[in-house]
Chains A and B, each alone.
Chain A
């Protein structure tokens, strides 16, 4: 009896053992998708390709990634240390001083954003390649063009980056030279052009995606900076690429400059390529957080607390209102003294790029008070007042100083993630590119076509007096006013050789190696085949 019970017991035990040694994790995959079970339907495949574009969300229009490198080192933006805020280990200040280190967050985050884009494109291409239909071939060209654009930014910021086109490659790739990267970008874009759609800004199918004119724009910008990138100027090619866009007649200057950047700016006639942000579906555009003061939350009934960081610089603001630099209709504008006392100055319509002067609550009339105002450093009392004047970069910039970035419309009830679409490439930039290339080719800043193009922008967008004559400096100033906070300033200053000179909060650079950023330390550690950029 007992023996039997033991036998049955042990047999049952053995049966359990036999059935319970299977350790395949497939049986336990409940909430995750793997490369084995995902990518089976059309919708799933499209969602995998979409990542090549959604990688852009949270880059432009945010303070975590590429905007740090494109804007903070220039003369149009400053992120000062405001006492206890924005010290952050000194990396913001180092960006301004052009002393960024390989282990700072700016290069690291930007590198990973761009190479994630490259890698995602490679992965999408590896999915598309075997399909081999005409539609898939066209889509491959679009993705290759997108990859070339990621490389255009890498070329511009880091220069000597590894070219990677094969998703199945397993060795960490070594550096290519900046010239090789330039050639790669040019070749890839030219090769893609025939397959890309020649659609305008109102086309639903290509809105937010790379089309023919996006590729031409990047080519125009590539050629405009070719001398910086390769040592050889390409003015004719820049003009030709610009003309491809201008002569399409699909684009035109918006009569009202600020409409380019309003909340519902979809289909603006200047928008060549945008990031189609949405406060719910496509988040990552967090300019209100970056620039507004904590108390401004009340002004806009904003869904989060702003960080009181990014601002513009007094000289740059002054380039709009100073009649000598920017002749035009005069009126009352916020002045440059520490109180922002109103003065007479040029009323450029593009002054809406800034939020300056006394601030009010959401009713628009009640003064908005800053509880933390300091009597010693804030002569105008507790009301929040954004002054173009900024006392210092570090360590104790006053909390209310700095003209705030108002280029994109801030609307009541915004979450802090804007729904405005970020304009990556804009028609006005193409007009200025053509103007500059013409002037430089002719070695004459008063080249009539160039002057006409610039004055078209001055009159339509600025509502200011056309230039009678132009110099490199006045051209650059006009480009600055028009293209403020559109990530062209660093390129422009390098091209006009002002990037390494002294400007507000930035002493002259002893060496030009800073015109390329260092390859991030974490990347060098992870990829032993890479070498650091010279000078770091």
Chain B
């Protein structure tokens, strides 16, 4: 800490010195240069950094790609650089106008790629790393960083079924490679390891790099197994720029679970309550959202560059009363000094998001609530009629059943998320090529949730563990806080060893600690609804019925790491790294793990000259990554309160019992991965792409396994229990179909396959059913629908095989021999919830100032358990007496059996979606005008879906109730699928 203080003092002095020096330079500078930077299609590239070589003087291009700069003399060399494009150096000479084209054909392989703890040129990369730049991001109503990438990277699956604006996305890189650890990739934001992916606003991101194989991820050790996503934010140039991006979106529900209308329901034997209500219509709306982003960036001659931005989102959900608003401020400051040998950065992000979540169950109720029920009733309050609670809303007392309109209108469910990030670094170049960097970063989040069900609310099941309606007002409040600190120091070295051999090495130390704490209170019985935000007004505090909980836990990670990169004549490349990392979460016998990686690449194109082939690079990598236990203390023998008290001499006293078995051997999951890939460019670089094959094996899988009691004190124990095997191929191909000054058409396809197998289980556990999940209430508890089996693929859907109906309408099932019988006793594999392959297809057209982009995305081969059908596609008298009936194309009025799970409810989930289409127009402005650029666009999201699935959204379900071994279950509280249209402008001045 003393060091930082010292650094500040020095920094001030150095800055003054540097500014003075630069001022002097400026006085004698005489040559004014201007020009335009364009891409391969001749369009201006905004935001390109233009730097005078050997100085910190520079600027960046405006929205049209134009720039102007004063250089000291004609010998000056300008460096044009832009993430995702090659860097170019041009000597000014006698010119005063210097137009530069940053073209892939001058070396797509020079593109800057951000890798763990550094950057490389694309041609030097020897492992599987994908880069997505801002120009390639998904557009439209984007409020989550994950959306930017959806479908853009082969092997990276991003899924969110339904249109819940407050719902998160599931991210999976190369499928599942863990049983008990984190399934989402590690996120690194501007060097801040382990940050939340939504730390920065989507508008502030310059590029995203995805480290896919273990060799690239191994430098992140125990957190690299699920892949790594590296986010680079926009930085300031030199020209002061003000930019505004704004958009407004209208979003509509497009599909509801098919069910009976009022007339159909009455005809089928349902009770007629006299009205005709479309409950889905009552609880949904056209949601209107707006997003505004204002940013300032620029720099001074003193080596200072800055960017600051303000992002505001006001997003409505299609369910009434739902949505969020979010304000985010971001700044990034870079200061160079000591003739650019010292670089100091501070980045800050502050976000406040205020959400109204509504209640997901409203969609379940809208499907099954009596369609003949009126919204409200004038019946006298009480049990005799429809006004059960006196709220005036129609309610009926069935299991898991409530008026969906009342659910959303009466009850509140709110949250405020605050996140603050500070990320600061200092780097000094000690001698030429040797740099030392220190980074300190902090992430703080606070998530406050509150819910209130008023005195006349019916459905207290909305809150976990609630049931019935006579709670007389029920409030729940909770606060969850987290605090993470990161300290890293890295020494890096770059040297040209000989004329042909370049060496690049680094060594570092990383320390990170994590602290989580929170509080939860639930209490009912209020005198009045008006002051229920003060939960202590609840009567439950007086009689002991209030429930509360609090927690605090933490952990620490410490690591040493190093890497060596060799480049022989831009022809052969070699990289080797090692991270040695330890965690407090490991058992005492296994505190430290080693995570090595080695990778190599060979530019075959240089070796053999193949006609039409511009470059051809073969690369192979092998690496080992790890995954941490999901929580702290899992290796410890723990005691905890039983929650129920012991009557001891007439007085109740707390009872404690073992809550967890110890496991001093508990350690990381270990993933070893081999990846072989080919990067190519052909036909004058019009066809580019890469292909990868990977084979990963995760051993020492973490799992909370069932163990015998006795001898164990309690029946669960976190153990390292088996291996997963995972293979796949991925390719990405881009082709410039038409390339001319006026019209361009680029098309690109990415494709990835998945094949994940539970290869082995510890002999203690062999034969044990893991990954089982339950269909649930009403009436289908203890109905297992998924499982993981040793030697089989992950994602098995399990149950009886449907064989039709008998003459009386009863279900017939396979008895195991192919014979149709009434018994559902024989159960087997009836599907798999994970896809076989996924596809993304982007097309970009550009005609003069117009551009059109559309993007199709598909998942193939996955199955989905349609739980709506499994429960409610049944019109037998006892069912229709309680619930409306789901009527997909499989609905059969002849059915007389009660709901029984079988393959009848497992459907093919294969789909293709037109995910995103954008039509944009760039207005022309003179360079010296006040407005430097204006672009307007219209965008449509989720425009159509082609699928056989009869539910509302065929997206892959990666987990069910948090169980990652139970994919493929379409839960009943999934939101409806939506379609949205956005109009937006980007303005720069």
Interface residues of B in 391-423 (CB under 8 A from A): 396-399
Set of chain B residues within 8 Å of A171, measured between Cβ atoms: 711
User: Roughly how many angstroms separate A241 CA and B645 CA in the complex, as a whole number?
Assistant: 32
Set of chain A residues within 8 Å of B632, measured between Cβ atoms: 25, 28
Chain-B contact segment, one of A81-89, A189-197, A460-468: A81-89
Contact B655 A89 (CB under 8 A): no
User: Roughly how many angstroms separate A48 CA and B640 CA in the complex, as a whole number?
Assistant: 9
Set of chain B residues within 8 Å of A276, measured between Cβ atoms: 647
Interface residues of A in 51-87 (CB under 8 A from B): 51, 53-55, 57-58, 81-87
Q: Is B487 an interface residue (CB 8 A)?
A: yes
Q: Which residue of A lies closest to B658 (CB)?
A: A123
Set of chain A residues within 8 Å of B653, measured between Cβ atoms: 43, 46-47, 50
Contact B644 A284 (CB under 8 A): yes
Q: Is B528 an interface residue (CB 8 A)?
A: no
Chain-B contact segment, one of A9-17, A212-220, A450-458: A9-17
Chain-B contact segment, one of A175-183, A201-209, A319-327, A428-436: A201-209
Q: Is B768 an interface residue (CB 8 A)?
A: yes
Q: Is B764 an interface residue (CB 8 A)?
A: yes
Chain-A contact segment, one of B380-388, B723-731, B920-928, B964-972: B380-388
Contact A81 B898 (CB under 8 A): yes
Pick the residue among A302, A307, A367 that contacts B399 (CB under 8 A): A307
Q: Which residue of A lies closest to B768 (CB)?
A: A525
Contact A282 B652 (CB under 8 A): yes
User: Roughly how many angstroms separate A289 CA and B584 CA in the complex, as a whole number?
Assistant: 44
Q: Is A131 an interface residue (CB 8 A)?
A: no
User: Roughly how many angstroms separate A89 CA and B646 CA in the complex, as a whole number?
Assistant: 35
Contact B511 A20 (CB under 8 A): yes
Contact A115 B709 (CB under 8 A): yes
Interface residues of A in 282-324 (CB under 8 A from B): 282-284, 289, 294-295, 297-298, 301-308
Set of chain A residues within 8 Å of B740, measured between Cβ atoms: none
Q: Is B498 an interface residue (CB 8 A)?
A: no
Q: Is A526 an interface residue (CB 8 A)?
A: yes
Which of A6, A294, A361 lies at the interface centre, i.e. has the most chain B CB atoms within 10 A of its CB? A294
Q: Is A230 an interface residue (CB 8 A)?
A: no
Contact B898 A87 (CB under 8 A): yes
Contact B430 A6 (CB under 8 A): yes
Q: Is B98 an interface residue (CB 8 A)?
A: no
Pick the residue among B543, B638, B657 that contacts A280 (CB under 8 A): B543
Chain-B contact segment, one of A372-380, A470-478, A485-493: A372-380
User: Roughly how many angstroms separate A526 CA and B128 CA in the complex, as a whole number?
Assistant: 41
Set of chain B residues within 8 Å of A523, measured between Cβ atoms: 708
**Binary A-proximity of B703-744 (CB < 8 A = 1, otherwise 0):** 000111111011100000000000000000000000000000
Set of chain A residues within 8 Å of B637, measured between Cβ atoms: 34-35
User: Roughly how many angstroms separate A304 CA and B524 CA in the complex, as a whole number?
Assistant: 12
User: Roughly how many angstroms separate A30 CA and B639 CA in the complex, as a whole number?
Assistant: 13
Q: Is B568 an interface residue (CB 8 A)?
A: no
- Report the minimum CB–CB distance from B442 to chain A (whole Å): 16
- Report the minimum CB–CB distance from B213 to chain A (whole Å): 28
Contact A6 B710 (CB under 8 A): no
Pick the residue among B396, B658, B768 that contacts A526 (CB under 8 A): B768
Set of chain A residues within 8 Å of B876, measured between Cβ atoms: 83, 396
Q: Is A23 an interface residue (CB 8 A)?
A: yes
- Report the minimum CB–CB distance from A81 to chain B (whole Å): 6
Pick the residue among B384, B585, B706, B900 that contacts A25 (CB under 8 A): B585
User: Roughly how many angstroms separate A398 CA and B511 CA in the complex, as a whole number?
Assistant: 64
User: Roughly how many angstroms separate A483 CA and B471 CA in the complex, as a whole number?
Assistant: 35
Set of chain B residues within 8 Å of A29, measured between Cβ atoms: 633, 636
Contact A526 B779 (CB under 8 A): no
Pick the residue among B3, B460, B640, B824 that contacts A12 (CB under 8 A): B3
Q: Is B551 an interface residue (CB 8 A)?
A: yes
Q: Is B277 an interface residue (CB 8 A)?
A: no
Contact A2 B338 (CB under 8 A): yes
Which of B383, B779, B883 lies at the interface centre, i.e. has the most chain A CB atoms within 10 A of its CB? B383
Which of B586, B646, B781, B782 lies at the interface centre, i.e. has the most chain A CB atoms within 10 A of its CB? B646
User: Roughly how many angstroms separate A298 CA and B384 CA in the complex, as a whole number?
Assistant: 10
Chain-A contact segment, one of B29-37, B201-209, B299-307, B552-560: B552-560
Contact A31 B552 (CB under 8 A): yes
Q: Is B433 an interface residue (CB 8 A)?
A: no
Chain A residue total in the interface (Cβ 8 A): 120
Chain B residue total in the interface (Cβ 8 A): 115
Q: Which residue of A lies closest to B395 (CB)?
A: A371
Contact B710 A164 (CB under 8 A): yes
Chain-A contact segment, one of B144-152, B462-470, B599-607: B462-470
Set of chain B residues within 8 Å of A35, measured between Cβ atoms: 637, 639, 662
Set of chain B residues within 8 Å of A30, measured between Cβ atoms: 517, 552-554
**Binary B-proximity of A117-138 (CB < 8 A = 1, otherwise 0):** 0111011000000000000000
Set of chain A residues within 8 Å of B335, measured between Cβ atoms: none
Contact A12 B2 (CB under 8 A): yes
Set of chain A residues within 8 Å of B658, measured between Cβ atoms: 123
- Report the minimum CB–CB distance from B125 to chain A (whole Å): 29
User: Roughly how many angstroms separate A373 CA and B876 CA in the complex, as a whole number?
Assistant: 14
Q: Is B116 an interface residue (CB 8 A)?
A: no
- Report the minimum CB–CB distance from B772 to chain A (whole Å): 9
Which of B3, B768, B824, B874 lies at the interface centre, i.e. has the most chain A CB atoms within 10 A of its CB? B3
Contact B553 A82 (CB under 8 A): no
Which of A90, A204, A371, A395 lies at the interface centre, i.e. has the most chain B CB atoms within 10 A of its CB? A371
- Report the minimum CB–CB distance from B652 to chain A (whole Å): 4
- Report the minimum CB–CB distance from A139 to chain B (whole Å): 12
Q: Is B649 an interface residue (CB 8 A)?
A: yes
Contact B783 A298 (CB under 8 A): no
Contact B554 A525 (CB under 8 A): no
Pick the residue among A34, A85, A374 that contacts B638 (CB under 8 A): A34
Question: Do A297 and B636 contact each other (CB < 8 Å), given the known contacts A90-B824, A207-B647?
Answer: no
Contact B383 A23 (CB under 8 A): no
User: Roughly how many angstroms separate A416 CA and B524 CA in the complex, as a whole number?
Assistant: 15
Q: Which residue of B lies closest to A84 (CB)?
A: B779
Set of chain A residues within 8 Å of B384, measured between Cβ atoms: 361, 366-369
Q: Is A252 an interface residue (CB 8 A)?
A: no
Set of chain A residues within 8 Å of B550, measured between Cβ atoms: 31
**Binary B-proximity of A497-527 (CB < 8 A = 1, otherwise 0):** 0000000000000000000000001110111
Q: Is A536 an interface residue (CB 8 A)?
A: no
Q: Which residue of B lies closest to A171 (CB)?
A: B711
Interface residues of A in 364-395 (CB under 8 A from B): 366-374, 376-377, 394-395
Q: Which residue of B lies closest to A99 (CB)?
A: B825
Contact B708 A172 (CB under 8 A): yes
- Report the minimum CB–CB distance from A531 to chain B (whole Å): 14
Q: Is B194 an interface residue (CB 8 A)?
A: no
- Report the minimum CB–CB distance from B439 to chain A (whole Å): 11
Pick the residue among B662, B781, B882 that contacts A83 (CB under 8 A): B882
Contact A27 B584 (CB under 8 A): yes
**Binary A-proximity of B236-264 (CB < 8 A = 1, otherwise 0):** 00000000000000000000000000000
Q: B residues engaging A (CB < 8 A)?
A: 2-3, 6-7, 10, 271, 338, 341, 382-386, 388, 396-399, 428, 430, 436, 438, 460-461, 466-471, 487, 489, 509, 511, 517, 543-545, 550-556, 558, 582-586, 591-592, 632-633, 635-650, 652-658, 662, 706-711, 713-715, 764-765, 767-769, 778-784, 824, 871, 874, 876-879, 881-883, 897-901
Give me 30 A-to-B residue pairs in the complex whose CB atoms sit less than 8 angstroms apart, sorted by A's number.
Answer: A2-B430, A16-B487, A17-B489, A23-B556, A23-B558, A28-B555, A30-B552, A31-B553, A46-B653, A48-B639, A54-B646, A55-B657, A57-B644, A84-B778, A84-B779, A87-B779, A87-B898, A89-B782, A116-B715, A204-B650, A205-B650, A278-B652, A297-B397, A304-B467, A306-B468, A366-B384, A372-B882, A373-B881, A416-B467, A526-B706
